[in-house]
Structure 1
């Protein structure tokens, strides 16, 4: 099949592409590379305003004063110019509900053309979208990505990129997509739960991880246990980094000679993955029920990852708590206690490391996942 994957912001589509290519399909990814993360794409939506610091500042200033986003206008224009190339595909898959990164009215207009000139259209529920944000907003979960906002209303400005999905324009985009797609696929439990029983929901297909490209690194603790905390400053509150920072402060004070802590801020993806290669433990995120892409790739390398591994996840995959990933809740003392457990039981690091790799190979192997996508696309 000839497949077009639109958008990329976690390397999901790149890993899926690798699996699809291995199965003999033709695949093209189109997207912006997602800013500083700079993920590889085949057709690059080059954004001048984002790449040049001065122009980016001017664009932000204009947006703040007028509400007009020059970056979104540029994205719209570049996708419009690309339309003649984005046709005659057997499958088109959108990374999420705002995959073209423009305003909803223009997105609908562009998507109509893409839908009309291709055979099948599928949507991923991956990252914030109307379904997951509205589900969280109704407090169906004990905690969610909106939890920090519930306790600190001053964060509302930082939450605008997420809360925009509740606006009438994005709700209209959501309904347009669900009326025109062949189906929607969740990539993990955080997006699976809000979509349960929806007629367009095709089920959960776990994130694909290229286990052939990611080598397992024997995870043994030498003199000190090395803890890596990679922060994306734009998502500091949403990922629960405050609790990680507080937990690390507790550990550093209690075990100054037993730990080596590495903290980074908003670095490119390639730099990020190279920096954590030598760590024993990786701190990923708080407000999730399942693992995102960073966590899964780290688990594949054999890292002990503090991330989402809630009861729903344990039940879905039929695994025991704290044997594959360390479930992390918004409680600094609880996080510190789990870090202390590893410090006092370093043999557990190697044990969990091997379990994590085995789990990725069983549940997230990129070729197996690619075949699940093919089967789902063909059935619908």
Structure 2
């Protein structure tokens, strides 16, 4: 089968491609690499002129400030349009998001229509912010969501422009069009499966694929200090609840100065990020989550103890006990501090969770098994 994957935000599509290729399929990824993260793609729609040419960058930013026209979005649309003649003979196309092209919704719909004339079998992946997901968060039926900081302080609206845009009519129209023109809606974890089900939308739940062949398990050895890693993406730090980790680290640094080492990074490219946390024992990932995102899963595959989403819904889904394969981090710095303190004082527990984490990834997220599940879903 010849498969086209459109968009890449987390390395999900790259790992899926690797699994599909091993199963004998030909796979192409189109995307922009997600800015500073620089994920690999086969065909790039990265807005090179707008971003890399200093004069053009200054000019286009000035125009955007005056009249609101975003030339970066337009350049991405043009680059995708120019690639359309190369996109022939594909049996299936999957979009990573309704805004997979990262352009204006009206241009997205125009380009999707062109693409869908070529490829009849299609799926839309729900693995991040999306119209029905954000709609459900606004119902406030969950005890918390990534929009909790915004609900508590509406002055943060600018920092939440990415999730909030999906409630704008033009973005909503794009999702509705895709919902009607894709045969499958696929969710990647419970943070999206739960809202989609609550909103009455039919989905197929397929866990994130992790390449367990290229990510080596790193057994945790006895060390003089426990190394704690916090990698910050400033574009999403508020919605991930990073401030709770920062407050907890301030307390931990004072209490255990001679027992810990803290590594803190910001906005690192993906390849640098995964190297930066290699020496860490504990990874602080995110707070406002019920299941693990992609970064957390890759860290767990290495045997890191990850503070992330692991709510009761996740435990029930995979028949696990609390804090067995990762640490459920709640929006409370004192609870995070208490869990960090326990691990620092009981390093044998770190080793136990580390082994459990790797075993869990191999059992539930092996990229070859997950790729096979995608094929079954697409062909059903």
The normalised TM-score by structure 2 is 0.97
Other-structure match for 1:184: 185
- Show CA shifts across 1:292-322 (max 9, x none): 1100000000000000001100011110010
How many Å separate the matches in 2 of 1:282 and 1:57?
Answer: 37
CA deviations on 1:37-64 (whole Å, 9 max, x unpaired) are: 0000111113121234554444333223
Please say if 1:116 is aligned against 2:117: yes
Aligned counterparts, 1:1-380, within 5 A: 1-48=1-48, 49-52=50-53, 55-196=56-197, 201-379=202-380
Runs of 4+ in 1 over 4 A off after TM superposition: 197-200
In 2, are the aligned partners of 1:287 and 1:330 still within 8 Å (CA)? Answer: yes
CA distance in 2, matches of 1:257, 1:159: 38
**1:29 Cα offset (Å):** 0.4
Once the 2 structures are TM-superposed, how far is the Cα of residue 198 of structure 1 from its aligned partner?
6.5
Q: Secondary structure at the match of 2:203?
A: strand
Deviations 1:263-309 (A, max 9, x none): 00101100000010010000001111111110000000000000000
Distance of 1:132 and 1:18 partners within structure 2: 28
Give the gaps of 5 or more residues in structure 1.
none
Question: Residues 219 and 165 of structure 1: is their aligned pair in 2 closer, same or farther, counting only changes over 3 Å?
Answer: same
How big is the shift at 1:239? Answer: 1.1
C-alpha spacing 1:329/1:208, structure 2 compared with 1 (3 Å): same
Greater Cα offset, 243-252 or 151-160:
151-160
The number of aligned residues is 379
Separation in structure 2 between the aligned mates of residue 160 and residue 40 of structure 1, nearest angstrom: 26
What SS does the corresponding residue of 1:184 show, helix, strand or coil? strand
Secondary structure (helix, strand or coil) at the match of 1:16 reads helix
Distance 1:116 1:6 in 2: 15
Q: Is the 8 A contact 1:220 1:280 kept in 2?
A: no
Cα 1:164–1:197, aligned 2, differ >3 Å: closer, same or farther? closer
Measure how far apart 1:221 and its partner are: 4.0
Aligned CA distance change for structure 1 residues 346 and 58 (closer, same or farther; 3 Å): farther
Q: 1:329 to 1:60 in 2, by over 3 A?
A: farther
Answer whether contact 1:35 1:50 (CA < 8 A) is retained. no
Shift of 1:235: 1.2
Q: In structure 2, what is the Cα distance between the partners aligned to 1:331 and 1:53?
A: 43
Cα shift readout 1:201-226 (whole Å, capped 9, x = no counterpart): 33210000000000000113411110
TM-score after normalising by structure 1:
0.97
Cα RMSD of the aligned pairs, angstroms, is 1.3
Between 1:216-225 and 1:180-189, the stretch displaced more is 216-225
Contact 2:217/2:302, CA 8 A, preserved across alignment: yes
> Take 1:229 and 1:221, find their aligned partners in 2: how far apart are those partners?
21
Using a 3 Å threshold, how does the CA distance of structure 1 residues 142 and 58 change in structure 2: closer, same or farther? farther
Taking a change above 3 Å as real, the CA distance of residues 161 and 197 of structure 1, as seen in their structure-2 partners, is: closer
Say if 1:12 and 1:207, in contact at 8 Å, map to a contact too: yes
Give, in whole Å, the separation in 2 of the partners of 1:38 and 1:207.
19
